[in-house]
Amino acid sequence: MKINPYIFRGYDIRGLVDKDLNSQVIECIGKAYGTFLLKRGIKKTIVGRDCRLSSESYSQAIIKGICSTGVDVIDIGLALVGTIYWAQYYFDVRGCVSVSGSHNPVEYNGFKLATGLSQTMLSEEVQELREIAEKGEFKQGKGRVEKKDVKKPYFKDLLKRFSLPLKFKVVVDPAHSTAGAFAPELLEKAGCQVICNHCELDGSFPIGVPDPTERKTAERLSKKILETKAALGFSYDSDGDRIGVVDEKGNIVWNDVLVALFSAAVLEEQPGAKIVFNTLCSKVVDDIIKEKKGRAVMWRTGHSFIKAKAQQEKASFAGELSGHFYFLDKFYPHDDGLYSTLRLLSYLAKSNQSLSEALDSLPKYLSSPEIKLYCADDKKVELIKKISPVLKQNFPGAEVIDDERAGDGVRIDFPDAMFVVRYSQNGPYLTVKFEAKTEDRYSFLRNYIKELLHNYKEVDWASKINVNIEALLGE
């Protein structure tokens, strides 16, 4: 079967609905995944889905393909990806599929596929799956499907890990995505007063993509917090593994600052612990880990890469700018947006601080949000290869990180600043992040990067996929 090879990305599958992905293609992917699992002695898998308009039919198609190989399926229906990972432990099942386009636009959908407990495919395994699908040599059998509802035991397990009640007034804004069916109920059970903003499920995402890293998402959340005098607010992406946070003053808290705060909290209890973070994170993360006598491990961007590295390093905590957090000290070694939400609330309750007070103790940088610029999948890798030597030439005195720690781009580090340019593993775009201690230095980096990228026609500045480009344009 002819399948667009670019849907097989760095650690998952993402493609355009009805163009790259249809029922036949997805059934073929299901057959390939079932075959992949059986080669590893895995005979059962969990399947869950987000609320996108295509996700229910796509879930049915991949289940059909998996079952045709003889692999059994536990279908947990509408679910956050953290719930799906959790269900692996609950049912003692090594396989799992999350049907979701995550933070991508509504035109996209995709699949996260497990290789073991809390373990999702890395690049080599995704390509192995592609080869199985293209060859069409599938195992054959008759797998069974069981439908299970795990919300109640999942909530029970999360809540028992914290001292309750957590008496906070919180705003929840999942932008009509899947978390709307889970986060408000869980937080109310935890003792919170919950103000719902766009919690009704609507897979067409009428107010825009559920992306916690988008400034407009954070600004909408900020407005509601100030209007309702809430203590803080949370936003979520479509599969609920990533969060966004705004404090009681309406200040946007970019997630690398949250990585620093969580790192400080973990290191207070576990001095000397290893902390893993991705190359897009602010220098504040490394600063705070060193200040708290922890061991910093910078690694390449991507939830599967960071998760695998954290497990390999036996880290106590790992985090990414995108809002994926991994609390290996007291939870399963995977990202779960609802657990991250409770963990932050629990820390604030224990320390008797507001979020803004907790953040006041951290070093300060002027920092851009995560910026995304469209660049076609068949051009983005070569573009980074063009840009890398230019950066090295232009900044000979800086520390250049372009080895396995960066993986898919370049990070330029200065004593008072840093910036990153990389290509995305799960979408047709470049990612940019920059920061500095002073306004002048920040403006210099912004203008440099803007002028640099305008030299390459591969970058589409008008694409609707672009995110937060006003931070680069100085608007």
Q: Where are the domains of the chain?
A: 5-149, 153-250, 255-333, 366-473
Write the burial class of residue 457 (CB in 10 Å: 0-12 exposed, 13-18 middle, 19+ buried). Answer: exposed
**pLDDT recorded at residue 104:** 87
pTM of the model: 0.95
Among 57, 70, 46, which residue's Cα sits nearest to residue 24? 57
Query: Residue with structure tokens 């820390």?
Result: 347
Per-residue model confidence (pLDDT) at position 195: 98
| pLDDT of the residue at 143 | 98
Q: What are phi and psi of 398, to 5 degrees?
A: -85, 160
Unique residue bearing structure tokens 């799960």: 426
Q: For position 437, what pLDDT does the model report? A: 97
Mapped onto helix, strand or coil, the DSSP state of residue 184 is: helix
Query: Token pair of 408, please?
Result: 């898919």
> What single letter denotes the amino acid at residue 288?
I
Residue 352 buriedness (CB in 10 A; 0-12 / 13-18 / 19+): exposed
What pLDDT sits at residue 467?
Answer: 94
How confident is the model at residue 76, as a pLDDT?
98
Q: Which residues of the chain, if any, have pLDDT below 50? A: none
**39-62 pLDDT per residue, tens:** 999 999 999 999 999 999 999 999
Enter the CATH code of domain 5-149: 3.40.120.10
366-473 has CATH 3.30.310.50 classification: yes
Catalytic residues: 102
**pLDDT at residue number 296:** 98
Cα–Cα distance measured from residue 127 to residue 109, given in angstroms and rounded to the nearest whole number:
19
**Token code pair at residue 48:** 């869950």
Give me the residue label for tokens 């395994």.
Answer: 125
pLDDT of residue 474: 85
Name the architecture of domain 153-250.
Answer: 3-Layer(aba) Sandwich (3.40)
Same fold yes or no, 255-333 and 366-473:
no
CATH superfamily of 255-333: Alpha-D-Glucose-1,6-Bisphosphate, subunit A, domain 3 (3.40.120.10)
Tokens 């593993």, located at residue? 425
Residues 281 and 259 sit within 8 Å (Cβ to Cβ)? yes
Beta carbons of 93 and 44 less than 8 angstroms apart: yes
CA distance 197 to 171: 7
